Amino acid sequence: MKLNKYFVIDFDSTFTKVEAFDVLAEISLKDDPDRDSKVDQIKSITNQGMDGSLSFRESLEKRVALLAPNRRHLTQLVTVLREMVSESFKRNKEFFQKYSDNIYIISNGFHAFIDPIVTEYGIKPENILANRFVFDEQGNVIGFDKENPLSANNGKVEQLKRLNLPGDVYVIGDGYTDYEIKHSGLANKFYAFTENVGRENVLSKADHVTPSLDEFLYLNKLNTAISYPKNRINVLLLENVHPVAVQLMKAEGFNVETYSAAMTENELIEKIKNVNVLGIRSKTQVTKKVLENANRLMAIGAFCIGTNQIDLKEATRKGVAVFNAPFSNTRSVVELAVAEMIMLMRNIVDKSAAMHKGKWDKSAKGSYEVRGKYLGLIGYGNIGTQLSVIAESLGMKVLYYDKEEKLALGNATKCRSLQELLEKADVVSMHVDGRESNTNLIGPKEFELMKPGVIFINLSRGHVVDINALRENILSGKVAGCAVDVFPYEPVSNDEEFKSELRGLPNTILTPHIGGSTSEAQENIGNFVPGKFLDYINTGSTSNSVNFPNLTLPTLENAHRLIHIHANVPGILAKINHVLAEHGINIAGQYLKTNETIGYVITDINKGYDEQVIAQLRAIEHTIKFRVLY
Ligand code: NAI
């Protein structure tokens, strides 16, 4: 493609994520007994080269001598570097191919390892300017071509002078030598590339800081693989979400800001104005007022199970998709339920408490195995079903009752009524959701139906059990033991006293709503929610969204995806299609789903649309949000 612009790109820490010499040291010095001291020497020589106490050529000479590489090492180096190409370079392969006449790689590194990497991206061999090793007959490096300007101080500037490019020159790199090209007047602009490293002395000199190649292409209106640079997407993660989530979002190239605490409404109202993606846990309240100020917000992730801290209605109305992590702590709850069943069947809680007071009461009375007993699961959802499988593997016989039609796993038996389950179960375990109609689902009448000596477990929600009825049944001995993790009222902080009618009762395990609180669960949540964000941002997929119509979309090739969110009123789809037809645009695929508040339409079109089409689609009445992918 003819263009009167030239792009000069650095190799080490720009085209690839690493400095090739660092990797080469690991390879060529691997079995060297003086490895550590040589690596230290190389570092100190590099520094001397940078602060000017050693000329670049001397520093290069000394480093090459210490590394003493051979052809075999260089082949290994290329294999490693191939895997270390910067992510945004990988994404934009098309750019290198399309503008191959205009792209130069200029590096103080060596052809031997640069050429095999960059030519795979379509860079022309004659446009690669770098140093050359000199080899002996055995393939050992014995020096380098000292005539090459790139082996000396100010080498990049000298090289560019010789090239004498007939147009504007843009330099992208992470190092001071890249800036020097601009400084010498040979380039119009210098873009400091910070995807891999950010050097203060370079950043302060840059015309633009570009956290990825996407940003560079976006600024220069060049062809890009993605429609909007990810570094322009601001992600705010509050309440110390798991570091794995921060890592995942950063690796994708987003501009991520973290905050260890929750934010107050006022703080968030201010902060949210520039936020595209918000991550919270249970403490931050995303209120209507917050959302009114959230004009750039696309998605909210609750890094927990519950979403009542978010005004879902308002979020939906504003076209903000909300995600949570509904199954990430399922296993943690199940393990606790299993442990508690066994402890309660053996009366361990009281025995242990007595031991602490010096009482030795060795007896088998009232102690049972769980094997062969009936476990009755009320609610056969994520947790109920997993507990069903694990309990069976312990030899229990599983009964379940669910409002919905649920497939029995393993040998579990479905009960037709709650009554049937309560009459048969030796252990009753609650796993229903917290909908309001489940308030006091288990009360005096239900306890009445249970077998004498039943074990009762509630790790679901506090209000589903009538606490006074439970207390009476424990005191009467009808319930032989119970474990409760959730309460109708729970203290708001660790400083508040826990008050409950259940305190001090025999064979009663009380835990502070920690059924799902494990490191593993936190990590699972940290992995799960970013996955949902990425799917939504990259493909438009809303699977598992709490408030959006759920659409799982195929990945798209050679087409654009138009994502239209609108108030759910009749006729919008027809209007979208009318605009497309008017411009003769071919629809490759279309997906529509609505809920009571919004409609979500995805239209895949063959390449080729213009700004006018986009403007018209945006202007359709009742449009809430609109974006184009790819
Ligand atoms: P889920 O939504 O997958 O399953 C709930 C099941 O209960 C559904 O199959 C539903 O049809 C059924 N159900 C609802 N009302 C019912 C009723 N009246 N009678 C019979 N079946 C009914 O939920 P999941 O993930 O299995 O969680 C279960 C409970 O555990 C929830 O209340 C959740 O809040 C709680 N939970 C507690 C944790 C803790 O730290 N203690 C951690 C995670 C979840």
Residue 227 domain flag: no
Task: Give, using CA atoms, the residue closest to atom 43 of ligand 1.
Answer: 516
* Distance in Å, CA 429 to ligand 1 centroid: 11
Q: Determine the pLDDT at residue 372.
A: 98
* DSSP result, 350-395: HHHHHHHTT------TT---STTPEEEEE--SHHHHHHHHHHHHTT
- The mean-pLDDT minimum among 115-129, 131-145, 197-211, 408-422 falls in 197-211
Residue 338 domain flag: yes
Q: Determine the pLDDT at residue 2.
A: 67
**135 bridge partner residues:** 141
Same structural domain, 69 and 128: yes
Same structural domain, 253 and 360: no
Q: Give the residue, 293 or 48, on which the prediction is more confident.
A: 293
Q: How confident is the model at residue 356 (pLDDT cuts 50, 70, 90)?
A: very high
pLDDT in tens, 492-528: 788 899 999 999 999 999 999 999 999 999 999 999 9
| E runs forming strands in 465-512 | 479-484, 508-510
Q: Determine the pLDDT at residue 38.
A: 92
Task: Kindly state if the Cβ of 461 falls inside 6 Å of ligand 1.
Answer: yes
In the predicted structure, residue 630 carries a pLDDT above the cut 90: no
Q: How confident is the model at residue 1 (pLDDT cuts 50, 70, 90)?
A: low
Please, what is the Cα angle at 46 between 44 and 52, to 5 degrees? 100
Residue 529 domain flag: no
Q: Determine the pLDDT at residue 253.
A: 86
Same structural domain, 49 and 180: yes
Q: Determine the pLDDT at residue 249.
A: 94
In the predicted structure, residue 446 carries a pLDDT above the cut 90: yes
* DSSP result, 152-173: STTHHHHHHHHH--SSEEEEEE
pLDDT in tens, 475-501: 999 999 999 999 999 887 888 999 999
Q: How confident is the model at residue 49 (pLDDT cuts 50, 70, 90)?
A: confident
* Distance in Å, CA 485 to ligand 1 centroid: 14
Q: Give the residue, 252 or 113, on which the prediction is more confident.
A: 113
Q: Determine the pLDDT at residue 282.
A: 85
Q: Determine the pLDDT at residue 367.
A: 95
Task: Kindly state if the Cβ of 307 falls inside 6 Å of ligand 1.
Answer: no
Using the 8-state DSSP alphabet, how is residue 274 labeled? G
Query: What average pLDDT does range 156-172 have in this prediction?
Result: 94
Q: How confident is the model at residue 535 (pLDDT cuts 50, 70, 90)?
A: very high
Residue 588 domain flag: yes
- The mean-pLDDT minimum among 135-144, 244-253, 604-613 falls in 604-613
Same structural domain, 85 and 162: yes
Classify each residue of 534-551 as buried b or exposed e, where b means 16 or more C-beta atoms within 10 Å of its C-beta: bbbbbbbbbebbbbbbeb
Q: Determine the pLDDT at residue 182.
A: 94
Query: What average pLDDT does range 403-429 have in this prediction?
Result: 97
Q: Give the residue, 26 or 223, on which the prediction is more confident.
A: 26
Sheet holding 587-594, edge to edge: 587-594, 598-606, 559-567, 623-629
Mean pLDDT over the full length of the chain: 93
Query: What average pLDDT does range 367-377 have in this prediction?
Result: 98
Same structural domain, 351 and 477: yes
In the predicted structure, residue 607 carries a pLDDT above the cut 70: no
- The mean-pLDDT minimum among 49-63, 67-81, 88-102, 519-533 falls in 49-63
Q: Determine the pLDDT at residue 399.
A: 98
Query: What average pLDDT does range 21-35 have in this prediction?
Result: 94
pLDDT in tens, 260-282: 988 999 999 999 999 999 999 98
Q: Which CATH number is 451's domain given?
A: 3.40.50.720
Which has the closest alpha carbon to 323: 519, 525, 516, 460?
525
Task: Kindly state if the Cβ of 380 falls inside 6 Å of ligand 1.
Answer: yes
Domain extent, residue 386, equals: 330-517
Same structural domain, 302 and 180: no
Q: Which CATH number is 165's domain given?
A: 3.40.50.1000
Same structural domain, 214 and 268: no
Residue 21 domain flag: yes
Task: Give, using CA atoms, the residue closest to atom 3 of ligand 1.
Answer: 381
* Distance in Å, CA 447 to ligand 1 centroid: 20
Residue 290 domain flag: yes
Q: How far is CA 332 from CA 94, 99, 382, in A?
A: 46, 53, 12
Q: Determine the pLDDT at residue 52.
A: 75
In the predicted structure, residue 224 carries a pLDDT above the cut 60: no
Q: What is the largest CA-CA distance in the chain?
A: 97
Which has the closest alpha carbon to 367: 353, 340, 348?
348
Where in the sequence numbering do the catalytic residues fall? Answer: 461, 490, 513
* Distance in Å, CA 131 to ligand 1 centroid: 65
Q: Determine the pLDDT at residue 457.
A: 98
Residue 379 neighbours by CB distance under 10 Å = 24
Same structural domain, 190 and 285: no
Task: Kindly state if the Cβ of 446 falls inside 6 Å of ligand 1.
Answer: no
Phi, psi of 414 (to 5 degrees): -80, 135
Query: What average pLDDT does range 366-386 have in this prediction?
Result: 97
Same structural domain, 431 and 486: yes
Phi, psi of 620 (to 5 degrees): -60, 135
Same structural domain, 451 and 353: yes
Query: What average pLDDT does range 585-601 have in this prediction?
Result: 92
Which has the closest alpha carbon to 335: 389, 414, 406, 409?
389
Task: Give, using CA atoms, the residue closest to atom 35 of ligand 1.
Answer: 460
Residue 225 domain flag: no
**414 bridge partner residues:** 400
